[in-house]
Amino acid sequence: MESNLTQELLVVEAELQDVQDQIKLLLDRQEALHKKQAELKTLLEECKLPDAAANSNISVDTVDWSGTFEWDARAYDITFNVFGITSYRANQREIINALMSGRDVLVIMAAGGGKSLCYQLPAVLLDGIALVVSPLLSLIQDQVMGLSALGIPACMLTSTTSKDDEKFIYKALEKGDVELKILYVTPEKISKSKRFMSKLEKCHKAGRLSLISIDEAHCCSQWGHDFRPDYKNLGILKIQFPQVPLIALTATATYKVQIDLMEMLHIPKCIKFETTVNRPNLFYKVHVKSPISKVVINQIADYIVSSYSNMESGIVYCFSRKECEQVARELQEHGISADYYHADMDIAAREKVHLRWSRNNLQVIVGTVAFGMGINKPDVRFVIHHSLSKSMETYYQESGRAGRDGLPSECVLYYKPSDVPRQSSMVFYENSGLQNLYDIVRYCQSKSCRRSAFFLHFGEPLQDCNDMCDNCAYGAKLEEVNVTDHAKAILSVLRSMQDLDQRATVLQLVDKLKVKMKALGAPSTPELKKEHLEQLIIQLLLDRVLKEEFQHTAYATNAYVTLGPLWKQTLDGKRIVKLDIRSGQSHIKDEKLKSSKRSRSALLEGRLDELRKDISSNHGGIFPHAVLSSQQIGALSIQKPTSVAQLGKLIGKVKAEKYGKRIIELIQQYIKAELSDGDAIAADEGEINEEIKRQRKAPVIIDSEDET
Ligand SMILES: Nc1ncnc2c1ncn2[C@@H]1O[C@H](COP(=O)(O)OP(=O)(O)OP(=O)(O)O)[C@@H](O)[C@H]1O
Ligand SMILES: [Mg+2]
């Protein structure tokens, strides 16, 4: 009798536990729905805004910002002749017109979309000085150098500014008798320097503060991915200078962040311009990561050597500082010019590495997330993730550092299921940390379009991928396997362990499972390889059949796998579990990328690249991309201009006059040699490529998915 009762009690308790788990699941869902409800309500309010605005005669949406404006001719002249830009990109023209019309503007435009021009051009067109707030010294330095190369008087006021420069800037603000068009400051100047604010006040009183620009504006919001406390105080600018148009710019901002920054910056009536998150020039790819670290390095090295033999710039992101150093060292051993970058290095050492890379004297930076926002290099051709990012948002940001110049570039993520617990034990305590991580894991395990995953994540309508991701371009060869029995075995192992008060990590669970499957010896159950069992466990985590639990030790936080809310249905056989197993990985490259690379590796491009490096080192160390962008090099090697006037039509008058003589000399020499001896050039090119190959040790090419 007693044992019956005990038995029944156990069953009831198990069921209760099941109900509680399901309640938790529903509560999570309720919370997510509440969030969505709040967002939709705010959106609805915003939709009503234009009516309210129309009633109060505010011309929010009535102006056609792409129409004709009195400054059109001058704007065109400066865009073309000074910035060397032949046509506007999406929304640039509209944003410039709104700002020039005195409106406050909020810009959400993908990385590399061309946000800088949106305030730099009005700054040149308008009388007076434009104030630009930017979060990082390296970003500011890069911008000021770039502007100086274009002959636009720009300065920066930061903690590193010399006394003399500070004097010059204050004079420009106060008296306006020295030439200054754009002044960059860090947010600390606004929040901490009373002296600076009083000079700015004087500049404004004299009617010489033309506009205010807040770059990387998501830093204002605690909900953004890179909150900076000093950005919180920037609201003062609109209070002090209400008539001066303010432009806030960011690459990504959720709706919540947008509302937050409009409030904080006091720009409730700003005009918002939002462009798609799509980066059509980026090819997204997930590569199966071998459990053997040497194999992974060999694959990465092989990929860099074979695809980017002309020192094209790249980034490799790693999980930890130690891993960074090791990967950099191993890439060096493969003859690749690589160095590491992480938060444990002192600032000077970090800057040195960053500078070498920016000047194209170093091909690859191997970094942790610390290698972040300050990266302004437009011609990064590949971003490799040696390990998983912690969210879709982070991956979008990090991979988005590729191809900011609009040219085809690649984003490759090396994924193995056992990297998941490593990340989850780092992010589980963050707000929605696990949910965010599981989103990027879903991206990795998915067989559908990678680009669509971004659209879905950022709540945008789908757009064509144009075969610019692995799944669309050549599809993974996948075999669908029924693994319900394996899933049941996993659950029964975990249940027995739970009864004994034991826990298991993913790896321990796989080992136990192998033993159990062997003992069962079920002939109907196909044997799964270790990595496929890992893949199954991760899939069950994503499907909430399993869940992760965490425990701190003195040295680390361990992630364990336990029964999740939906375990019972699966164990009872009410769910069929299927797993997509990759039967091979295609290494076919996208044709578009291949052909564009082929044309870019032409000899003349190589020589122009060398020349821009030389010019940059002779012009106060400005970056090579500020002398000639990769796009401009591409255009020059096709058009081959032979006079400074012709050159001006391709790269703008200012640059043509500044650097034109040497560029034209080089092109003329090239044409002459091409005419007199076409074969010699071909041989020359072959020699250069051979030389590059000789400089690197032959990589060990291991291309297999079966190396367990
Ligand atoms: N209309 C254009 N045509 C050609 N190139 C352009 C155009 N506008 C900007 N660019 C170039 O695109 C590159 C990226 O521009 P920019 O630095 O302004 O990007 P961004 O939107 O600020 O990106 P991030 O979010 O990464 O800071 C630069 O090299 C810039 O010169
Ligand atoms: Mg920018």
Ligand 2 centroid to Cα of residue 116, in Å, is: 6
Segment 71-81, tens digit of pLDDT: 999 999 999 99
Probe residue for ligand 1, chosen from 117, 218, 627 as the CB with the greatest number of ligand atoms within 8 Å: 117
**Protein fold of 71-274:** Rossmann fold (3.40.50)
Confidence of residue 615 (pLDDT cuts 50, 70, 90): confident
Non-local CB neighbours of 283 within 8 Å, separated by 6+ positions: 408, 409, 410, 411, 468, 469, 470, 473, 590, 593
Comma-separated ranges of CATH 1.10.150.80 domains in the chain: 600-679
Ligand nearest to the CA of 134: 2
State which ligand 1 atom lies nearest to the alpha carbon of 117.
Answer: 18
Q: What is the pLDDT of residues 569-597, one digit of tens each?
A: 888 888 889 988 876 554 444 444 554 44
Q: Is residue 114 lining ligand 1, measured as CB closer than 6 Å?
A: yes
Query: What does the pLDDT read at residue 468?
Result: 95
- According to the model, what pLDDT value does residue 593 have? 52
Residues 412 and 295: beta-carbon distance below 8 Å = no
Expressed in angstroms and rounded, the spacing between residue 582 Cα and the centre of ligand 2 is 39
Q: Whose CA is closest to 309, among 617, 632, 595, 600?
A: 600
Predicted pLDDT at 702: 31
Model pLDDT, residue 585: 52
Q: Where in the chain is the domain with CATH 3.40.50.300?
A: 71-274, 282-477
Q: Check if the beta carbon of residue 388 is closer than 8 Å to that of residue 444.
A: yes
pLDDT at res. 598 = 45
**Where is average pLDDT lowest: 15-24, 362-371, 458-467, 554-563?**
15-24
The residue nearest atom 9 of ligand 1, judged by CA position, is 114
pLDDT tens per residue, range 115-153: 999 999 999 999 999 999 998 887 888 899 889 888 999
Q: How far apart are CA 579 and CA 567, in angstroms?
A: 17
Alpha carbons within 13 angstroms on the beta-carbon side of residue 262 total 18
Class of domain 600-679: mainly alpha
% of the chain with per-residue pLDDT over 90:
48
Query: Which CATH class for the 282-477 domain?
Result: alpha beta
Q: What is the DSSP letter of 697?
A: P
Position 240 confidence tier, pLDDT thresholds 50, 70, 90: very high
d(CA 685, CA 154): 40
The pLDDT score that the predictor gives to residue 695 is 38
Per-residue pLDDT band for 691 (boundaries 50, 70, 90) equals very low
- CB of residue 226 inside a 6 A radius of ligand 1: no
**H or E, element range at 610:** helix 603-618
Q: Is the CB of 335 under 6 A from ligand 1?
A: no
Q: What 3-state class would DSSP assign to 207?
A: coil
Band (pLDDT 50/70/90 cuts) for residue 154 is very high
Distance of CA 381 to the CA centre of its chain: 13
- Max avg pLDDT among 86-100, 614-628, 691-705: 86-100
Q: State both tokens at 629.
A: 């962008």
Close Cβ partners of 97 (under 8 Å, ≥ 6 residues apart): 65, 66, 67, 69
Cα–ligand 2 centroid distance for 220 (angstroms): 16
DSSP 140: H
Integer distance in angstroms from the first to the last C-alpha of the chain? 53
In ligand 1, which atom is closest to the CA atom of 115?
21
Q: Which pLDDT belongs to residue 696? A: 36
Domain 483-582 sits in CATH 1.10.540.10: no
CA of 691 to the centre of ligand 2 (A): 37
- Nearest residue to 659 via CA among 619, 630, 699: 619
d(CA 90, CA 113): 8
Beta bridge partners of 214: 133, 248
Kindly report which listed range (151-155, 407-411, 644-648) carries the lowest average pLDDT score. 644-648
